[in-house]
């Protein structure tokens, strides 16, 4: 009898330990980090290499930043468990959540991402002053998978009664926000849309000439970029990652450098996936997800 009780107790202990292990999740030997390629590859490496180094110190395991070729690769990388932490836009976050059966989840975002915007830009030769005057013109979005360079600009165009496939003489995808600005400035297209943060950076660094390209319309605010983790990571590790972002403080010079790289005031915790619902609805209305 005692033997049976001991066996039952042992089985119960193993089941309990197994359940705890399942809840705890995986701690990878190296945390594989990536980001949507919304700017040129050199700029992405400049931004995210310091973040990888910072996180490595904070979480105590190696962190490797892995650049990808396009937006879809970040989504598929997380779905295939090849990426652990990704800086997604709103749309790619929603796509990743769908592809992972709602297991991937957002943990942190910049305060600015609660009130993000896109800007519509043009050049003097195009003579455009309103959305309605885009009809019959050439236009550039960023990447097809970009929230601020395609999904939300398309959504607001549709709300204004402008269907890109019908009303533009031609539209194309530049592949990145900075590329869109340069296409418009050079006259390759009459107008385009990109996120306001990249636009401000291009203006501040004088990489665009505001006499040759300028903003003629700005969208209402929406929720956008965020740090997303795959759902089977160890919860303790995820908390360390989240707290590392949340602790960044502008009064600390080293922290300020990282915040400046991301053009962030500070990072805040993502408390609910519901904040991304409007992005999903806009993407469905635009036919970008089914």
Domain holding 211: CATH number? 3.40.190.10
8 assigned to some structural domain: no
DSSP 150: I
DSSP 30: S
Listed residue (110, 119, 176, 114) closest to 145, CA to CA = 176
Q: Specify whether 167 is located in the same domain as 193.
A: yes
Residues of the chain with pLDDT under 70: 1-24
Q: Specify whether 172 is located in the same domain as 212.
A: yes
Domain boundary among 218, 236, 257: 218
61 assigned to some structural domain: yes
CA torsion 282→283→286→290, rounded to 10°? -130
Q: Specify whether 104 is located in the same domain as 124.
A: no
Q: 242 Cβ partners below 8 Å, 6+ apart?
A: 107, 108, 227, 269
Q: Specify whether 151 is located in the same domain as 190.
A: yes
Q: Specify whether 54 is located in the same domain as 198.
A: no
Contact of 175 with 143, CB cutoff 8 Å: yes
SS3 assignment, position 290: coil
What CA–CA distances, in Å, run from 145 to 1, 89, 124, 176, 195?
A: 64, 9, 29, 10, 13
Q: Specify whether 148 is located in the same domain as 205.
A: yes
Task: Please tell me the pTM assigned to this model.
Answer: 0.85
H or E segment and range at residue 196: helix 196-204
d(CA 181, CA 4): 74
Q: Specify whether 140 is located in the same domain as 178.
A: yes
Q: Specify whether 170 is located in the same domain as 123.
A: yes
- Structural domain including 125 reads 117-218
**Number of domains present in the structure of the chain:** 2
75 assigned to some structural domain: yes
281 assigned to some structural domain: yes
15 assigned to some structural domain: no
d(CA 141, CA 170): 11
Q: What is the structure's pLDDT at 24?
A: 56
Domain boundary among 191, 218, 245: 218
Domain boundary among 187, 218, 249: 218
Q: Specify whether 107 is located in the same domain as 228.
A: yes
34 assigned to some structural domain: yes
Q: What is the structure's pLDDT at 138?
A: 98
Which segments within 85-199 are labelled E, that is strand?
Answer: 85-88, 105-110, 118-122, 138-141, 170-173, 191-195
Q: Specify whether 65 is located in the same domain as 191.
A: no
19 assigned to some structural domain: no
Which segments within 70-224 are labelled E, that is strand?
Answer: 85-88, 105-110, 118-122, 138-141, 170-173, 191-195, 214-218
d(CA 269, CA 77): 24
d(CA 169, CA 150): 17
Q: What is the structure's pLDDT at 290?
A: 75
Q: Specify whether 121 is located in the same domain as 173.
A: yes
Q: Specify whether 135 is located in the same domain as 101.
A: no
Q: Token pair for residue 290?
A: 């089914």
11 assigned to some structural domain: no
Listed residue (244, 246, 248, 274) closest to 261, CA to CA = 248
Listed residue (70, 81, 106) closest to 31, CA to CA = 81
CA atoms within 13 A on the CB side of 276: 30
């Amino acid at each position: 009898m005692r033997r049976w009780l001991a066996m039952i107790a042992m089985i119960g202990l193993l089941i309990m330990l197994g359940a705890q292990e399942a809840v705890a999740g995986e701690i990878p030997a190296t945390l594989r980090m990536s980001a949507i390629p919304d700017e040129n590859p050199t700029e992405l490496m400049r931004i995210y290499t310091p973040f990888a180094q910072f996180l490595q110190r904070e979480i105590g395991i190696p962190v490797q930043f892995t650049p990808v070729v396009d937006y879809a690769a970040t989504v598929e990388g997380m779905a295939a468990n090849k990426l652990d932490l990704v800086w997604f836009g709103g749309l790619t976050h929603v796509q990743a959540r769908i592809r992972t059966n709602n297991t991937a989840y957002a943990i942190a975002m910049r305060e600015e991402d609660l009130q993000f915007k896109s800007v519509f830009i043009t050049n003097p030769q195009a003579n455009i002053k309103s959305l309605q005057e885009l009809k019959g013109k050439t236009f550039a979005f960023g990447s097809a998978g970009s929230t601020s360079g395609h999904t939300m600009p398309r959504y607001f165009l549709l709300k204004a009664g402008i269907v890109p496939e019908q009303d533009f003489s031609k539209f194309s995808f530049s592949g990145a926000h900075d590329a869109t600005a340069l296409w418009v400035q050079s006259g390759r297209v009459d107008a385009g849309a990109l996120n306001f943060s990249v636009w401000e950076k291009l203006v501040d660094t004088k990489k665009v000439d505001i006499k040759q390209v300028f903003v003629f319309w700005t969208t209402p605010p929406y929720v956008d970029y965020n740090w997303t983790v795959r759902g089977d990571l160890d919860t303790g590790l995820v908390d360390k990652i989240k707290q590392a972002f949340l602790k960044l403080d502008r009064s600390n010079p080293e922290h300020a450098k990282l915040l400046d790289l991301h053009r962030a005031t500070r990072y805040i915790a993502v408390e609910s996936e519901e904040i991304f619902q409007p992005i999903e609805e806009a993407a469905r209305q635009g036919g970008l997800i089914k």
